[in-house]
Amino acid sequence: MDAAAKKVMTDLRAKRYAPVYLLQGEEPYYIDLIASYIEANVLSESEKGFNQVVLYGKESPTHVILNHAKRFPMMAERQVVIVREAQEIPDLSKEAGQKLLLDYFQRPVPSTVLVLCHKYKTLDKRKELGKKAEQLTTSLTFKKLYENQLPEFVEEYVTARGFSIAEGAVRLLCESVGVDLSRMASEIDKVLIARQPGYRITEEDVLAQVGMSREFNIFELQKALVLQDQAKACLIADYFAGNTRKNPLIMTVAFLYGFYSKLYTLSYAAAKGDHNAANTLKINPYSMRDYTTALQKYSVSKLAENVSLLKETDLKLKGVNSGSTEEGQLLRELVLRLIR
């Protein structure tokens, strides 16, 4: 979990509340996590009726929000005011609205917990409100995770719920969902439905339960085949099979045929002592890394077999000896046979 989010959640669980929370940034997951916890736990159910209000920025000019914030609680120690989609407050970009908000930040009502959920961007720090907000409020800014940070998030999320997860399952989740943390949490929760605490999530669980929420391209399929990463190659093949309009299978096979044909030529030439084949084939220097890796993993005979497999599949996609096998299944079978 993000370190700043973890600290705020620790304080909230200990019932240490700040008068103003400014939650902002590109990553909405932690904004929703903190706001939802406050909404569910700061007040008792009997207190919420008179003392908790949830507003939406688009419908709430600054003065409306502050009218609620400046009220005093009824038969309770505090009140909660949550503003969702605060980035859409109509006058937030105007000087008058910013001044009202800044004045409140400087003198907040101690018995109010005001939560501003400012998603996908941050306040403009060139303006006074943006400059001073971090000093005057409990302000947290959440950035999108990098892909290499995602496995840690997955493992921590699963562990926090009393489960464990196989390394391959972590990788599959990261590949299939991407860096959308809200979607990732939802997909993990889906996998955990009806599982007993202590259960270990496997690759099979992920493949069976998690839908595709990101797009793959032909270069990622090529990379998976180069590395002989069967799980990822099959995942991408499933995606292509379900999205043939964006990824015509006959074009996919033609691309792979070109790649494996060049690989075979390079491998055969190297076996004969000819090391100039790469120049003759006009292979891009950047792409040469994939070719070099593949040459270490595929024998000359396997490359010759793969070229034949691709020719055979190309003919089947064109209706020659295809039988009743549907196109998506042809691609799935091809991917497995190219690696094995």
CATH code of 36's domain = 3.40.50.300
Cα angle at 320 between 315 and 322, to 5 degrees?
A: 95
Q: Both 179 and 74 in a single domain? A: no
Given 186, 209, 232, which residue is the final one in a domain?
209
Q: Both 239 and 300 in a single domain? A: yes
Q: What is the pLDDT of residue 318?
A: 82
Given 142, 158, 174, which residue is the final one in a domain?
142
Q: Both 59 and 103 in a single domain? A: yes
Between CA 270 and CA 339 the distance in angstroms is 21
User: Which token pair is 23?
Assistant: 């939650």
Between CA 30 and CA 151 the distance in angstroms is 17
The residues pairing with 113 across neighbouring beta strands, listed in sequence order, are 80
Q: Both 22 and 123 in a single domain? A: yes
Q: Spell out the per-residue pLDDT of the chain, length 340, in tens.
A: 889 999 999 999 999 999 999 999 999 999 999 999 999 999 999 999 999 999 999 999 999 999 999 999 999 999 999 999 999 999 999 999 999 999 999 999 999 999 999 999 999 999 999 999 999 999 999 999 988 899 999 999 999 999 999 988 898 888 778 888 998 999 999 999 989 999 999 988 887 777 555 677 888 888 889 998 888 888 888 888 888 888 888 889 999 998 898 888 888 776 665 556 556 666 666 667 788 888 888 888 898 999 999 999 888 888 776 656 677 888 888 999 998 8
Provide the CATH number for the domain around residue 152. Answer: 1.10.8.60
* DSSP 3-state of 227: coil
The residues pairing with 114 across neighbouring beta strands, listed in sequence order, are 20, 81
Between CA 28 and CA 145 the distance in angstroms is 11
End-to-end alpha-carbon separation of the chain, Å?
39
Domain of 9 in residue numbering reads as 3-142
Q: Both 242 and 260 in a single domain? A: yes
Between CA 107 and CA 137 the distance in angstroms is 11
Given 156, 187, 209, which residue is the final one in a domain?
209
Q: Both 165 and 247 in a single domain? A: no
Candidates 111, 105, 115, 138; CA nearest to 38 is: 115
Q: Both 326 and 231 in a single domain? A: yes
Q: What is the pLDDT of residue 44?
A: 96
44, 49, 190, 209 from 75: Cα distances, Å? 12, 11, 40, 47
Total domains in the fold of the chain: 3
Between CA 200 and CA 221 the distance in angstroms is 28
Q: Both 163 and 36 in a single domain? A: no
Q: Both 252 and 201 in a single domain? A: no
187, 299, 318 from 150: Cα distances, Å? 14, 35, 41
Q: Both 196 and 297 in a single domain? A: no
Between CA 232 and CA 225 the distance in angstroms is 9
- Whether the model clears a pTM of 0.75, i.e. scores above it, the answer is no
φ and ψ at residue 173, rounded to 5 degrees: -60, -45
Q: Both 265 and 311 in a single domain? A: yes
Q: What is the pLDDT of residue 279?
A: 63
User: Residue 267: how many CB atoms within 10 A of its CB?
Assistant: 21
Q: What is the pLDDT of residue 243?
A: 81
Provide the CATH number for the domain around residue 297. Answer: 1.20.272.10
Q: Both 39 and 137 in a single domain? A: yes
* DSSP 3-state of 321: coil
